[in-house]
């Protein structure tokens, strides 16, 4: 396989034959990490203004969100997904912004679940949401074929939740969404809590208590320096170990084996069989070594890391009439050159980088 450097005006033909992996072989990046997950951001809009992701002072009423015409259509998204499954993707996660704000998202889900991997396995299609629209949409998402949902919930206390999400939505709205998702079979529901030391860390034990014996999997996420607008500060990071110590002191825990290489959360179960939790430690224990995730932005750029500064344009090729083979070559070429490992090199130098916003590319 010859290395080809390209830019947004790449002419598809030259590129194709150089990059495709041997059939059945995983597509490896420059650190020999196989492509496994594709996270697709379907909108840069959200009805929350979480302070660690979309601070209102930046994303205020005058903020220019992407015009609809810039967004990839459902057909274009499915083309990229189909090509990606041919290159090894086994799992697709729909994100945003808030993906349930994208009109008729059920239609996209129904199109995606019809895809299968080269060995005929069904593609796993999941979605991450803030839960505000979930109670209303859960049945339709399930009927469309969605496998599971992950719901963000950073506190049980309404006032703290308002401070974290900078919204007037109540915790009960999100909890109703979680219950309805479980009722219709979008389970196990994963619940993600971002922990900001000195702000909502007092909610760790109430959240753990609330979801014990629920069948849902609560995951605690270290506060990350995503994007360039959330005022991140290492002093506000409560490490995964500290979070585990707090929970373990109240409810003894045992480690659980990872489900597959590249699984984001380290897994723990309650010793009294009250269920499972996860810890996501991008800051204190980076997991770049097994990172198998590519990210597609709403307007069709491929990003290779959550902390990337720039993406690779796929839309130009798609709208220029490139074939699936062209697209596969482009995608494979981009991935095969991937060398990202931001969390392993986080420090003074990386702090100066202008990074993409998580509200645009999804978590």
Which residues here bind ligand SF4, judged by CB under 6 A?
A: 282, 287-288, 291, 293, 305-307, 340-343
- Is residue 130 within 8 A of residue 151, CB to CB? The reply is yes
Furthest-apart CA atoms within the chain: distance in Å: 61
- Is residue 276 within 8 A of residue 208, CB to CB? The reply is no
CB nearer ligand SF4, residue 190 or residue 216? 190
- Is residue 181 within 8 A of residue 217, CB to CB? The reply is no
CB nearer ligand SF4, residue 137 or residue 293? 293
Q: What are the phi and psi torsion angles at 320 (to 5°)?
A: -90, 5
CB of 355 to ligand SF4, least distance (A): 10
CB nearer ligand SF4, residue 264 or residue 318? 264
CB nearer ligand SF4, residue 191 or residue 358? 358
For 240: left if phi > 0, alpha if psi spans -120 to 50, otherwise beta; the answer is: alpha
Number of H helices and E strands in the chain, helices first, is 13, 12
CA angle, 75 then 80 then 84, to 5°: 145
CB of 264 to ligand SF4, least distance (A): 8
The sign of the torsion formed by the CA atoms of 117, 121, 124, 125 equals positive
Give the dihedral of Cα atoms 148, 154, 157, 158; nearest 10 deg.
-80
CB of 25 to ligand SF4, least distance (A): 22
CB nearer ligand SF4, residue 313 or residue 340? 340
CB of 313 to ligand SF4, least distance (A): 20
Residue 116 pairs in a beta bridge with 122
CB of 133 to ligand SF4, least distance (A): 27
CB of 296 to ligand SF4, least distance (A): 14
CB nearer ligand SF4, residue 249 or residue 345? 345
């Amino acid at each position: 396989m010859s290395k080809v450097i390209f830019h947004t005006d790449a002419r598809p033909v030259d590129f194709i034959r150089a990059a495709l992996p041997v059939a059945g072989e995983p597509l490896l990046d420059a650190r020999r990490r196989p492509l496994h997950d594709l996270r697709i951001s379907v909108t840069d809009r959200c009805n929350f203004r979480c302070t660690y992701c979309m601070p209102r002072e930046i994303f205020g009423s005058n903020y220019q969100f992407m015009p609809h015409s810039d967004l990839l259509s459902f057909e274009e998204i499915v083309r990229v997904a189909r090509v990606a499954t041919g290159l090894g993707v086994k799992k697709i996660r729909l994100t945003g912004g808030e993906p349930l704000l994208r009109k008729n998202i059920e239609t996209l889900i129904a199109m995606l679940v019809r895809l299968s991997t080269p060995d005929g396995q069904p593609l796993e299609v999941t979605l991450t949401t803030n839960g505000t629209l979930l109670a209303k949409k859960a049945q339709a998402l399930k009927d469309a074929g969605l496998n599971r949902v992950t719901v963000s919930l950073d506190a049980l206390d309404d006032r703290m939740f308002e401070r974290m999400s900078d919204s007037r939505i109540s915790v009960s709205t999100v909890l109703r969404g979680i219950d309805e998702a479980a009722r219709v079979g979008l389970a196990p529901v994963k619940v993600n809590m971002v922990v900001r030391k000195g702000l909502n860390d007092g909610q760790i034990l109430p959240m753990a208590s609330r979801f014990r014996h629920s069948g849902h999997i609560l995951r605690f996420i270290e506060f990350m320096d995503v994007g360039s607008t959330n005022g991140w500060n290492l002093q506000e990071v409560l490490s995964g170990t500290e979070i585990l110590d707090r929970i373990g002191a109240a409810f003894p825990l045992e480690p659980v084996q990872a489900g597959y290489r590249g699984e984001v959360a380290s897994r723990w179960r309650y010793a009294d069989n009250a269920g499972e939790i996860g810890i996501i430690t991008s800051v204190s224990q980076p997991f770049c070594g097994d990172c198998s995730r590519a990210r597609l932005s709403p307007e069709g750029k491929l990003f290779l890391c959550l902390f990337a500064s720039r993406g690779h344009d796929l839309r130009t090729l798609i709208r220029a009439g490139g074939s699936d083979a062209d697209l596969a070559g482009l995608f494979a070429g981009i991935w095969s050159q991937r060398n990202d490992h931001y969390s392993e090199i986080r420090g003074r130098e990386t702090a100066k980088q202008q990074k993409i916003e998580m509200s645009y590319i999804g978590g």
